Amino acid sequence: AEHQHARYNPLRDDWVLVSAHRVKRPWQGQLEKPPPEDVPRWDPNNPLCPGATRANGEVNPQYESTFVFPNDFPALQPDAPEPDDSDHPLFQVAPARGVCKVMCFHPWSDLTLPLMSLPEIRAVIDAWAELATELGASYPWVQIFENKGAMMGCSNPHPHCQVWASSFLPNEACLEDRTQRQHLSQHGVPMLLEYAEQEARRKERLVVENPDWLVVVPYWATWPYQTLLLPRRHVCRLQDLSDSERDNLASIMQRLLIKYDNLFEVSFPYSMGWHGAPTGPHLEEDCRHWQLHAHYYPPLLRSATVRKFMVGYEMLAQAQRDLTPEQAAERLRSLPEVHYK
57 is in an annotated binding site: no
308 is in an annotated binding site: yes
23 is in an annotated binding site: yes
46 is in an annotated binding site: no
134 is in an annotated binding site: no
148 is in an annotated binding site: no
155 is in an annotated binding site: yes
List the one residue out of 162, 163, 167, 164 whose CA is nearest residue 140: 167
> What sign does the dihedral 44-59-146-332 (CA atoms) show?
positive
295 is in an annotated binding site: yes
The three-point CA angle 251-104-166 to 5° equals 100
24 is in an annotated binding site: yes
106 is in an annotated binding site: no
Q: Give 41's DSSP letter.
A: S
293 is in an annotated binding site: yes
153 is in an annotated binding site: yes
91 is in an annotated binding site: no
Residue 300 C-beta-side C-alpha neighbours within 13 Å: 24
Element (DSSP H or E) covering residue 313? helix 313-316
d(C-alpha 172, C-alpha 145), whole Å: 13
21 is in an annotated binding site: no
Q: How far is CA 19 from CA 2, 320, 321, in A?
A: 8, 7, 6
Q: For this structure, is 289 an active site residue?
A: no
Q: How many residues does the chain have?
A: 341
Q: Residue 29: phi, psi to the nearest 5?
A: -90, -155
> What sign does the dihedral 36-61-146-333 (CA atoms) show?
positive
Strands (E), the chain: 5-9, 14-18, 67-70, 98-104, 141-148, 160-166, 206-209, 213-216, 227-231, 270-275, 293-297, 300-303, 306-307, 319-321
Catalytic-role residue among 160, 187, 234, 339 = 160
126 is in an annotated binding site: no
55 is in an annotated binding site: yes
Looking at residue 34, its amino acid is P
Q: Which residues are catalytic?
A: 160
Q: Which residues are annotated as a binding site for UDP-alpha-D-glucose?
A: 22-25, 55, 71-72, 147, 153-155, 162, 308-309, 313-314, 320
Q: Which residues are annotated as a binding site for Fe cation?
A: 176, 275, 293, 295
Q: Which residues are annotated as a binding site?
A: 22-25, 55, 71-72, 147, 153-155, 162, 176, 275, 293, 295, 308-309, 313-314, 320
